[in-house]
Amino acid sequence: QGCTQKYIVKNYFYYYLFKFSAALGEEIFYITFLPFTYWNIDHSVSRRMIIVWSIVMYIGQVSKDILKWPRPLSPPVVKLEMRTDAEYGMPSTHAMAATAISFSFFIATVNQYKYPFELGLVAAFVFSTLVCLSRLYTGMHTVLDVIGGALISAVLLVLLYPAWDAIDDFLLTSPFCPLVSIVVPLILCYNYPKLEYYSPTRGDTTTILGAGAGATVGFWLNNQYAVPADTSADFQLGFPLLTGKIAVLMLARFFVGILVVLLTRQLVKNVVLGLLGYRYKFPVDDLEARRRLEVEVPYKFITYSSVGFSATVLVPLLHELLGLM
C-alpha cells in the first residue's frame, strides 16, 4: 500500500533538517562515513563501529520481523518516505544505528584523542536525537518505536563494551576469523525469520552482514600480511589540526576510495546476478526472482562482502600506490 497523500510544507527548516537527519540513518551515510573513518581517522575506531553496527542492525531487523508491530497508520499520519513502508515498525533501526554509531564513536575516541568529554557526549546525543526525531517527523515510526530502538542500542553497547578488546583481538589474530566471519553471517541470513509477504528487511540485513563480513576479513588480512593493526600509525590522522594539505589529502583518499567501492559494488553485482540468472533461469531485471531466498542472499552477501573487503584492503593499497598515505 503506497502513500498517496498530498501535503504542504509549512516549515522548510524542519522539513529539510529532518529529511537530512533521516538520511544519516540510511545506507548512503554508512557507506561513506564508516570507510571515511577507516581511511582517514583510526583503524581501531572504525573496526569497533563496524562490528557494533553489524550486531545492532541484525538484532534490530530480526526483532522487527518477530514482533511484527505495524508502522503508524497513514492517514492520519503523512508518510514522507516510501522505501521502508513495507517493513514493520518496532524497533526503529534508524534510532538503533544512530545511537550505536554515535556513542560507539564517542566511547572509542574519548580516551585516545584530546577533545572535551562534554563536547563528544553532546555531539553523540545531538546526532542520535536528530535521527530519532526524523523518524517521527517523516511519519515512519511511533514514539515507542524510537525509544525502544535507542534503548536496545544502549543496552547492547553496555553489554558489548567489556568484550570490545577481546572481539578485536580475535578479529585480528585468530586463524579462524575469516571462516567465522563468512559462515556465521551466511547462516544467519539463510535462517532469517520468514514472513507471509516480501519485506526488504532480509535483503537489508544481508547487505549489512555481508559488508561487515568482508570488512572483517579485510581487517584480519591486513593485520596478517600488510601493516599490523597496532602499528598502523601511518594510516591514521586521529584528530589533527586540519591544515589545507591534510584536508586535501583526506578528501583525495575519500573520493578515490568511494570510486573504487562503487565500481566494486556495480561490477560484482552484475557478475553475481548474471551467474545466478544463468543458474536459476531468470532475466537479471526480474525483480520477483531477485527476491527469492536462493537468489537474494548470495547476490547481496557476495556483492557487499566484496565492498567491505575492497574498502579495507584494496583501497588502502591504492592509496599507498598513489602516494596518499
Check whether the bond before 91 is cis (ω within 30° of 0). Answer: yes
Predicted confidence at residue 30, as pLDDT, reads 77
Q: What is the pLDDT of residues 41-92, one digit of tens each?
A: 888 888 888 888 899 989 988 998 888 888 877 777 777 776 666 677 788 8
What does the longest C-alpha to C-alpha distance in the chain come to?
59
Out of 94, 202, 290, 300, the active site residue is 94
Mean pLDDT of 178-188: 93
In which residue are the cell numbers 566471519 written? 181
The yes-or-no answer on residue 141 being catalytic is: yes
pLDDT tens-digit readout, 219-239: 998 888 765 544 344 434 445
pLDDT in tens, 238-270: 454 556 777 888 888 889 999 999 999 999 999
Position 188 scores a pLDDT of 93
Share of the chain above pLDDT 70, in %: 90
d(CA 193, CA 180) in angstroms, rounded, equals 21
pLDDT score recorded for residue 238:
44
- Is residue 43 part of the annotated active site? The answer reads no
List, for residues 118-153, the tens digit of each pLDDT value. Answer: 888 999 999 888 888 888 888 888 888 899 999 999
Return the pLDDT at 320. 87
Tell me the three cell numbers of residue 214: 568482508
Query: pLDDT averaged over the chain?
Result: 83
Strands (E), the chain: none
Residue spans of alpha helices (H) in the chain: 12-23, 27-40, 43-67, 93-109, 117-137, 143-160, 164-173, 177-190, 201-225, 244-280, 287-290, 293-309, 315-321
Catalytic residue among 43, 141, 269, 319: 141
Mean pLDDT of 214-218: 92
Residues 271-288: what's their mean pLDDT?
87
Is the pLDDT assigned to residue 29 strictly greater than 90?
no
pLDDT of the residue at 161: 87
Least confident interval from 3-12, 154-163, 273-282? 3-12
Distance CA 256, CA 325 (A): 12
Contacts of 195 (CB under 8 A, 6+ apart): 65
Is the pLDDT assigned to residue 187 strictly greater than 90? yes
Interval 161-188 mean pLDDT: 90
Q: Which residues contact 103 (CB under 8 A, 6 or more apart)?
A: 124, 128, 153, 154, 157
Taking residues 285-313, what's their average pLDDT?
Answer: 89
Which sign does the torsion angle of CA 72, 74, 78, 83 carry?
Answer: positive
